[in-house]
A and B are shown apart, each in its own frame.
Chain A
Amino acid sequence: MEAVFRTCAQTGLKVDRQAERLIKVHAVAGVFAILFGGIAAVLVLLTRWPAVHLLDPTSFYRALTFHGINMLIFWIIFFEIAVLYFAGPIVLSCRLAWPRLGWAGFGLMVAGALLINIAILAGRADVMMTSYAPLQAVSYFYLGWILFAVGALIGVCNFFASLVVARSERTYEGSIPLVTFGAATAGIIAVFTLAHGAIIYIPTWLWSLGIIANIDPGIYRLVWWGLGHASQQINVAAMVSIWYLLATLTVGATPINEKVCRSAFLLYILFINLASAHHLLVDPQLSPAWKIWNTSYGMYLAVLASMIHGMTVPASIEVAQRRKGLTKGLFEWLAKAPWGNPGFAGMALSLVLFGFIGGITGVTFGAEQINIISHNTLRITGHFHATVVAGTTIAFMALTYYVLPLIFRRYVISQKLATLQIYLFATGMIIFIGGMTTAGSYAIPRRYWDVQFATSQFQPPVEAAAFLFLGIMGVGGLFALAGGALYVLLTVGTVLFGRRVPDTPGAVPLAALPQDKGQHVPISGTLVLVFVFLASFIIYYFLNWKWLADIWLVK
């Protein structure tokens, strides 16, 4: 298949039309997934909110399974594959290595997603996203996972093959751009993630067909989390790449020292997947030494990587803004940043919420012993809504407002509503996460139909404060759902009815790179921000050890 290119009038990049079409279909599939997952989110939220308690138990557990898989797997991975098709062939202006295989991969992902969703909606897979053996679903549910994983793996390999094409056809000089480097990190993590998926789902599928007699529940949990947690680490690498990308597009930011940024990505590749141990800290089958080494990503070197990105991204923005003359005091550069641009606002909120809420709670709950007072409570659910929703999803949403004019070549139907969408969603998520995580510290379990225990064998008294926080979670959740619905409306509306972007340079406003006069630019504002972050981290971390010390003795 001969590659056909167009030249982007806005960026000057050569765009392979097949890669562009694949980006479009993956993004559209992602939006379908967030729509499905969002509808289920309404039902789950309104059941978890004790004042409403909408669904019956069967429907609740079914909706929760559907919500988790559509959001955490389909929305995220479809969008990530779209990011890979952008960061490879498009950024490097090369042809896509295997266009036909790209479509085959997409087809497999869609087929897998449909099988899984059909199994859940047919009531044949009320097993949650994790489907812990010996809990068993219908066999085509597991087959769906295998097809989806193979399809995603094809997308990832197509990205790597395109890197080889760009190199051998010399479409660029020097080292690949940072965004491509970050995407390659996500791609490498995706390979071992999806390999874990194959290792666990192939035997589980055979077990569901009766070919294998039994699956050890301890080994299942160990290997499954190599898929389940690691798939969320693909997000981290993809999201950080998007931060760098959006910082460039919105304020013309350039990292101070790419050696630092790239080394941090390398630390992700080496260490981040060890964190699948976070789910196994209070399991019987693993030793404390195993738990401590793995839960700490080998001495927290992947946390170090995130703390580096948490500094280098704002520092690159500060330097760019100061070079534009915004040099007053510590924070003029930040106060006069383009907060009305949804791309910038989303990137900044994603970074702050991922770091301050998701990061701090994640590392704290992932300490081997603190996990005793967090495991399987709403604290965990609160934590990962901060990383995957407030972090990754807001970054993806922010990027969408550039994908629409640059790839779909349609102006967003209302830039004002797009900005409102980001703030509404982020505010809702902050309230939701605050309520959920705090309710979890009263031991309120996750994946639970009725926290009032009306039909339980015993009826434990629940503190009034826990209900208060569940109510706060409910209110915040409604705001976030409104923001999510607005996202779907804006994207679908723009693709169908948006004004076409003309092929004239400057038709899509992109930030110019400020001039580097070779002068040293201070990053004092950024340093203040990162030290505020560190102080919050230290306080929250040691408070949790204090709370742990107050419970019964156990060893």
Chain B
Amino acid sequence: MSLQPLTGIWWKKVDSSEKVWLGIALVWCLILFAMMPLWHLKGGQNPSFNTFRTTPADFMKKVEAFVEAGPKVAEDKGLPVIAPDPQKEVYMLGRLWQWYPALKLKKGQTYRLHLSSMDLVHGFSLFPLNLNFMVLPGYEYVLTITPTTTGEVFVVCNEFCGIGHHQMVGKITVE
């Protein structure tokens, strides 16, 4: 029993009924492990490791240059809406409490989306698509994304960033 010390030789051979489960559980664990490298080879959704050191000031300059270059196709709730060329780098920044700028993308085109934060840690969550990445100040995170649906998706901040956290919703339109 579990409350008494064990005396004598207690390291007995494992019973066959226990061995069956041990073996099957181990195989399942190895399958669980194999799925992740396999998905890197064959799957279409993998976390990027395209990361660079940056500073809020440097990243801000890049975002401003990106917005300047446009083309700016509209203005939405005070935000410029940029419809970038898929050949060029795309930028979005998170800050208290806004994602800047808004984007207009094309379905089936692949974009390199650079993300960083001007201040605190933010969460980049495409809503209601449910695609989530972290955005940290000092780190420039490049996601290579290909929209496969059309319509409006929203960028919800899903890491707590102070009292206005829930106001921080941006927008990406896909056509």
Q: Within the complex, which residue of A255, A260, A303, A463 is in contact with B22, where a contact is CB–CB below 8 Å?
A: A260
Is the Cβ of B144 less than 8 Å from the Cβ of A284? no
Is the Cβ of B125 less than 8 Å from the Cβ of A445? yes
A304-B29 contact in complex given A257-B12, A453-B169, A455-B166, C-beta closer than 8 Å: yes
- B17, B21, B110, B170 pick with most chain A CB within 10 angstroms: B21
B49 contact set on A, CB distance < 8 A: 286-288
- B7, B18, B48, B148 pick with most chain A CB within 10 angstroms: B18
A552-B126 contact in complex given A248-B3, A308-B25, A377-B132, C-beta closer than 8 Å: yes
Is the Cβ of B25 less than 8 Å from the Cβ of A245? no
A555-B127 contact in complex given A257-B18, A457-B169, A527-B20, C-beta closer than 8 Å: no
User: How far does the Cβ of A128 sit from chain B's closest Cβ, in whole Å?
Assistant: 5
Is the Cβ of B129 less than 8 Å from the Cβ of A555? no
B165 contact set on A, CB distance < 8 A: 57, 61, 447-449
Determine whether A213 belongs to the interface, using a CB cutoff of 8 Å to chain B: no
Is the Cβ of B22 less than 8 Å from the Cβ of A308? yes
User: How far does the Cβ of A208 sit from chain B's closest Cβ, in whole Å?
Assistant: 15
A179-B3 contact in complex given A260-B22, A553-B45, C-beta closer than 8 Å: yes
B123 contact set on A, CB distance < 8 A: 375-376, 445
Q: Which of B35-43, B64-72, B82-90 contacts A (4 or more CB under 8 A)?
A: B35-43
Q: Within the complex, which residue of B77, B121, B145, B162 is in contact with A458, where a contact is CB–CB below 8 Å?
A: B77
Within 8 A of A (CB), among B77-108: 77, 79, 97-98
Classify chain B: how many residues form its interface, as a range: 35 or more
Determine whether B168 belongs to the interface, using a CB cutoff of 8 Å to chain A: yes
Within 8 A of B (CB), among A17-41: none
- CB-based nearest A residue for B51: A284
- A287, A307, A513 pick with most chain B CB within 10 angstroms: A307
Classify chain A: how many residues form its interface, as a range: 35 or more
User: How far does the Cβ of A401 sit from chain B's closest Cβ, in whole Å?
Assistant: 17
Determine whether A315 belongs to the interface, using a CB cutoff of 8 Å to chain B: yes
A377-B166 contact in complex given A173-B7, A247-B2, A513-B1, C-beta closer than 8 Å: no
User: How far does the Cβ of A127 sit from chain B's closest Cβ, in whole Å?
Assistant: 8
Is the Cβ of B138 less than 8 Å from the Cβ of A218? yes
Where chain B touches its partner, the secondary structure class is: mixed
**In the docked arrangement, what's the CA distance between A249 and B44, Å?**
51
**In the docked arrangement, what's the CA distance between A296 and B97, Å?**
35
Is the Cβ of A135 less than 8 Å from the Cβ of B162? yes
Determine whether A259 belongs to the interface, using a CB cutoff of 8 Å to chain B: yes
Within 8 A of B (CB), among A226-278: 244-245, 247-248, 252-260
Determine whether A356 belongs to the interface, using a CB cutoff of 8 Å to chain B: no
User: How far does the Cβ of B15 sit from chain A's closest Cβ, in whole Å?
Assistant: 6
Is the Cβ of A135 less than 8 Å from the Cβ of B161? yes
A258 contact set on B, CB distance < 8 A: 6, 10
Determine whether A468 belongs to the interface, using a CB cutoff of 8 Å to chain B: no
Determine whether A164 belongs to the interface, using a CB cutoff of 8 Å to chain B: no
Q: Encode contact with B along A505-523: 1 for CB under 8 Å, 0 otherwise.
A: 0000000010000000011
Q: Encode contact with B along A196-239: 1 for CB under 8 Å, 0 otherwise.
A: 00000000000000000000111001000000000000000000
Is the Cβ of A257 less than 8 Å from the Cβ of B14? yes
**In the docked arrangement, what's the CA distance between A548 and B45, Å?**
7
Q: Encode contact with A along B98-139: 1 for CB under 8 Å, 0 otherwise.
A: 100000000000100000000111010111111111111111
Is the Cβ of B18 less than 8 Å from the Cβ of A312? yes
A459 contact set on B, CB distance < 8 A: 169
- CB-based nearest B residue for A446: B158
Is the Cβ of A172 less than 8 Å from the Cβ of B145? no
Is the Cβ of A552 less than 8 Å from the Cβ of B129? yes
Q: Within the complex, which residue of B36, B44, B128, B144 is in contact with A443, where a contact is CB–CB below 8 Å?
A: B128
Within 8 A of B (CB), among A133-190: 134-135, 172-179
Q: Which of A98-106, A328-336, A363-371, A416-424 contacts B (4 or more CB under 8 A)?
A: A363-371
Is the Cβ of B39 less than 8 Å from the Cβ of A174? no
B residues adjacent to A (C-beta < 8 A): 1-8, 10-12, 14-15, 17-18, 20-22, 24-26, 28-30, 32-33, 35-37, 39-40, 43-49, 51, 76-77, 79, 97-98, 110, 119-121, 123, 125-141, 143-149, 152, 154, 156-171
A residues adjacent to B (C-beta < 8 A): 11, 57-58, 61, 91-92, 126-128, 132, 134-135, 172-179, 216-218, 221, 244-245, 247-248, 252-260, 281-288, 291-292, 295-296, 299-301, 303-304, 307-308, 311-312, 315, 363, 367-369, 371-377, 441-443, 445-450, 453, 455-463, 466, 513, 522-524, 527, 530, 534, 537-538, 541, 545, 548-549, 551-555
7 A-B pairs with the lowest CB-CB distances in the bound complex, closest first:
A174-B7, A300-B29, A445-B158, A284-B141, A443-B130, A460-B154, A553-B146
Q: What would be 17 A-B contacts, judged by CB atoms less than 8 Å apart?
A: A248-B2, A256-B15, A284-B134, A372-B131, A445-B158, A446-B158, A450-B166, A457-B169, A458-B76, A458-B171, A460-B152, A460-B154, A527-B21, A530-B21, A537-B28, A551-B131, A552-B146
| Besides the known contacts A282-B134, A303-B29, A368-B36, 18 further A-B residue pairs in the complex with CB atoms under 8 A apart | A177-B4, A179-B2, A218-B136, A245-B3, A247-B2, A260-B22, A285-B136, A296-B36, A373-B132, A375-B132, A457-B97, A457-B168, A458-B169, A460-B156, A513-B1, A537-B28, A551-B131, A554-B45
